[in-house]
Amino acid sequence: MDHRTHSGHMGMGHEVAAHEARPAGPHDRMIGDFKKRFWVSLIATVPILGLSPVIQKFLGLDGVLRFPGDLQALFVLSTFVFAYGGYPFLKGIVAEIRAKRPGMMTLVALAITTAYVYSGAVVLGLAGEVFFWELATLIDIMLLGHWLEMRSVQGASRALEEMARLMPSEAHLLGPDGSARDVSLQELRAGDRVLVKPGEKVPADGDVIAGESSVNEAMLTGESRPVPKGRGAKVIAGSVNGEGSLSVEIRKTGRDSYLAQVIELVRQAQESRSRTQDLSNRAALWLTLIAIGVGSLTLIAWLAFSGKGLAFALERMVAVMVITCPHALGLAVPLVVAVSIAISARNGLLIRDRVAFERARNIQAIIFDKTGTLTEGRFGITDTLVFGGGPDASEVLRYAASVEAHSEHPIAKGIAAAAPGDLYPVEGFRAIPGKGAEGRVNGREVKVVGPGYLREQRIDLADDRIEGLSAQGKTVVFVLLDGRPVGALALADIIRPESKPAIARLKAMGIQCLMLTGDNRLVAKWVAEELGLDDYFAEVLPREKAEKVKEVQARGLVVAMTGDGVNDAPALAQADVGIAIGAGTDVAVETADIILVKSDPRDAVAIVGLARATYRKMVQNLAWATGYNAFAIPLAAGVLHGYGVVLSPALGAVLMSLSTVIVAVNARLLRLEKG
């Protein structure tokens, strides 16, 4: 086993519906194997320590524990530990040499083989000291380090298993007569209807056809609050139903489901390589070559110039090779990757391309599509004006909403949706073609009309506020009571409440924020001013969006494009980082590098923050791993021997394992900060 296989362990694929009976995978078996070998070797190490002359002398028991044949018994026990405990490393060196990529297994195998062969030769008559206790403790520590490290890797890479476990094992299939029977998930097909009881998990993606409830989607989209669901609402497989029963018509099953697509994206992201990982792998290879070279030079130097003898020189060489093991370096990036991908998937931030995700930390400008991204994509009331002597703003809106509730016009729907309370009964509702609508409310004649109606009726209404709203590109309608104007309502595409704080956070991070829209310049200018954008492009046709991205890139900026993933596909592809926002349950957005499940611009802040935090963790781990080796190699070689500082191979193994633990813990401390 070598650390370059860890990315493979992290990318283990799992069928969504088959998680329950999942047998132990290769990573689980490896963990169990290292655990077993560690405990067996540790037990055998106890008598090895008791039989070692150096330990006996240190404890003052050299006259008590000595007996005829004790050295041979020591040799037999050490041979067992070398063969049994050292097997993973001896097997690893063969694999690394065949692959022509010597690594940490090569270093450990060379170190323990050198110590064993030399000590065996001493038992057979060569003058010198045996290294058996150092050999046994070194193997024990290396096995323990691998066991603990692999458990850490396993904990960081369980995103796929965690997601798979979100699925229930059965579903309540509804028959034509309304009766329910339990079936396995594999039996479900698109068009089937299922019953989801309170507290149960939704078995497949679909639409609610009956019932009302709230559904917890936190583990799938990162949405912290339960989402209300009623007739016509979409539900996602794996989400948890709340207090009410829901009847759901299935739309997607198996590989087509949201959860299956997310699992596949996570698997692909974990298996893909990044530039930083390639850098760490190259550094680990060079560190291995340096360790072998420095270890050999250490042996030669101590033999040639110190007069310390072969045993001391061998000990220095073994210490160098052990402490230089690129263990921590091999884990520095993969562990951070596993943690960041798991975090992003749990929060509805889906990474398709890890290289693009790495680029996200360098984003200097983000271009947002307007409609549906920064705005809600629906007409709504932005301003309510009241003219003197009439009802207050709330009452004006209530009168208007009561009348417009009877109309199917988009503007009318926007007004009706903004009603501040219960609507008044309306008598004699009538549409005024091309002008508005009218009706009697509380015995009064109410009209909701456009500016054309006022001009036609020669109603003169001079108010600077109206001119200001029109200059913003808003649609202004007027409310008349008994023929007299009492108020005006301004409507526009509603700006998402999350957009302004998202833009503010991005600008605080040093990122320029721009907007791209096919809407007119007045509307674009108003939205840009409301949000504090740095620049905007208005009246842009879909085919022209990619050119606008090129324009911004020509300024020398690293550019991200954020859009809905359909109309904005060319622009998403042109950008350095393409971010599809508001993908909902449809995550198969081929042109985007990163997919944000929710229609929340703050998730763009989150992905940039996560990319930067991930890179910082990678750099921290790489700096620690390389810096540690730069410090430890001279120490292991014995440069401070004249000052009484001597690093034994066993202590070197402890320090090496500690370095690995530090890297693993640092990776697990990665967190997502939401804006």
Residues with a catalytic annotation lie at 369
Tokens (6 digits) for 491: 């409507």
**Which residues have C-beta within 8 Å of that of residue 441, sequence separation ≥ 6?**
399, 402, 403, 424, 425, 426, 427
- Looking up tokens 């829209």 gives 517
The closest alpha carbon to 591, from 611, 608, 605, 571, belongs to 571
Based on the number of CB atoms within 10 Å of its own CB, is 301 exposed (0-12), middle (13-18) or buried (19 or more)? middle
Angle at 436 between CA 431 and CA 437, to 5 degrees: 45
**Residue 27 CB neighbour total at 10 angstroms:** 21
In 510-547, which positions are buried (b, 16+ CB within 10 angstroms) versus exposed (e)? ebbbbbbbbbeeebbbbbbebbebeebbbebeeeebbe
Cβ proximity of 348 and 223 under 8 Å: yes
Local structure of residue 201 (DSSP, 8 states): B
d(CA 579, CA 568): 10
Angle at 398 between CA 401 and CA 428, to 5 degrees: 55
Across-strand partners of 195? 172, 247
Tokens (6 digits) for 465: 């506020």
d(CA 633, CA 171): 60
Cβ proximity of 222 and 348 under 8 Å: yes
Based on the number of CB atoms within 10 Å of its own CB, is 445 exposed (0-12), middle (13-18) or buried (19 or more)? middle
- E-only strand ranges, 288-404: 349-351, 365-369, 375-386
Tokens (6 digits) for 82: 């070398």
d(CA 48, CA 137): 9
Handedness of CA 488, 494, 497, 499 (dihedral sign): negative
d(CA 147, CA 42): 13
Local structure of residue 425 (DSSP, 8 states): P
Rounded-to-10 torsion of CA 554, 558, 560, 561: 0
Tokens (6 digits) for 1: 């086993």
Which DSSP string corresponds to 521-581?
A: HHHHHHHHHHHT-SEEE-S--GGGHHHHHHHHHTTT--EEEEE-SSTTHHHHHHSSEEEEE
The closest alpha carbon to 406, from 396, 397, 416, belongs to 416
The closest alpha carbon to 262, from 585, 604, 611, belongs to 585
Number of helical H runs and strand E runs in the chain: 24, 22
**Residue 658 CB neighbour total at 10 angstroms:** 13
d(CA 381, CA 489): 7
